[in-house]
Amino acid sequence: MSDTVASTLDRLSHVPGVRSAMIVDAEAGVPVASELGTGASATAVAALTASLFRRTDEAVRQAALGGLGSFQLETEDGHLVVAGRRELIVVVVADRDAQLGLIRLEVDRAVEALQ
């Protein structure tokens, strides 16, 4: 794991309310690095979120809205934030009452750092 990836992941995983943070290879759908909470499987989360990101990216491109920058899913129990521009995407699973503003800011920083 490179220093950039390690420090990015460390920073993300220490944001209050963040349950899991991962850096994922968007094309292969495999985890590059992860800090996962209990019960989560890095492989499954990486595969699912990469697929979600790719498909949404294809869909918005077909709608002539440009490339996908980020995708934020709000659910009953939490939030899934996925963002990226190139091969690597940043994935964060956060608690329902987490400070989303702070998380989004850190995710944006992480994406920039990984460019």
Name the segment binding other proteins (CB under 8 A); options: 1-9, 10-18, 33-41: 33-41
Q: In what order do the strands lie in the sheet with 78-84?
A: 30-35, 18-25, 88-95, 78-84
**77-106 mask for other proteins (x: CB under 8 A)?**
xx-x------------x----------x--
Which one of residues 1, 30, 105, 113 is an interface residue with other proteins (CB under 8 A)? 30
Which one of residues 5, 33, 36, 48 is an interface residue with other proteins (CB under 8 A)? 48
Q: Report the nearest approach of other proteins to the CB of residue 3 (Å).
A: 26
Q: Judged by CB, which is closer to other proteins: 1, or 105? A: 105
Q: Report the nearest approach of other proteins to the CB of residue 112 (Å).
A: 15
